[in-house]
Homo-oligomer: A and B are copies of this chain.
């Protein structure tokens, strides 16, 4: 029986296989597999150990002032904006997902439109619809680079937000400074003609890049820019839920951060984990080993190369977007599944000819999966 969501059959099969004790190679996961660094673990323990009573209580909706200041200081040091980032430019959020939901609710009205770029994280649609608005994703270039003409062409009077995601989930593409500057210039012209469009930049993978690639941000080029950052991957705090929203000085007078605080209360988030916020005071840069993630990625790449399966070479993130070796990508994915390999259909990300492979699997498992990949390909080549 066909199910409406192509993931449902895959997840059911995975569950069934697990229940039967069968071996499955699960490349659907978006779960970081390295946990936290040892230093972060020690910091978390010391935070609990030395916690005062109020450290377990409710925190301000926008986050602890000390944590907001710590992040602002770090941005002044590391990102080196052309302005001084202050605590009032930072709101602590329970992860990028919560941050995006609060932001969309703060910025959008009923039937507004948000332009995004394919491929995109599928939950965006829900986050935007929660705010009563509509998501309008446009095609990227063939190599998944930002297609600025497509973005600009999609703008109409209902457009309030452009949503970027770099490093991109699932393609791993990083948008270049040149592209971002060009987009910023066009949007600045529009703003001068009266249509002020906010750009939200989802930078959940900003510190997960390969070969130490740097990630330019639209915030350095366009004053109506908002960054959404997560500590789920770089610090390994996915399950503990923490990230932040950074805005430009332009938003100080608009009191967007105050509005975000109200949204965090009204949407039921209340506050971000107080213990995670305390941990950031000392552990903001205690990233896990990105080299491990790169090694896992390289190993999957080696299998794909060996099998002559083409893919978008990622510069960051924790995924590989690979092209189905046959025209019928649904058949390819179900054949892989039959042979014990679960991946996610690219159709969920607006890239139906592709499939997404998570690179958060340990090397031993990746190696062990090789035979299954080959068997699936062999079956379809017959």
Residue numbers of A with Cβ under 8 A of B are 30-36, 41, 44-45, 48-49, 51-59, 94-95, 97-102, 123, 126-127, 130, 232, 236-241, 265-271, 273-275
Contact = CB atoms under 8 A, between A and B. Distances in A.
Contacts of A30: 58
A267 B270 contact: no
A221 B232 CA distance: 43
A268 B127 contact: yes
Given A98-B268, A127-B268, A44 B48 contact: yes
B53 A35 contact: yes
Given A241-B271, A273-B273, A54 B35 contact: yes
Contacts of A58: 30-31, 232, 238-239
Contacts of A268: 94-95, 97-102, 127, 130, 267, 269
A178 to B, nearest CB: 32
Given A239-B274, A269-B94, A48 B51 contact: no
A226 to B, nearest CB: 15
Nearest to A239: B274
- How many copies of the polypeptide does the oligomer hold? 2
Nearest to A104: B268
Given A41-B48, A239-B275, 4 more contacts: A94-B269, A98-B269, A240-B273, A241-B271
B45 A57 contact: no
B274 A59 contact: no
Contact of A56 (B36, B49, B265): B36
A268 B99 CA distance: 8
A57 B32 contact: yes
Contacts of A265: 97, 123, 126
Nearest to A33: B53
A64 to B, nearest CB: 10
B52 A270 contact: no
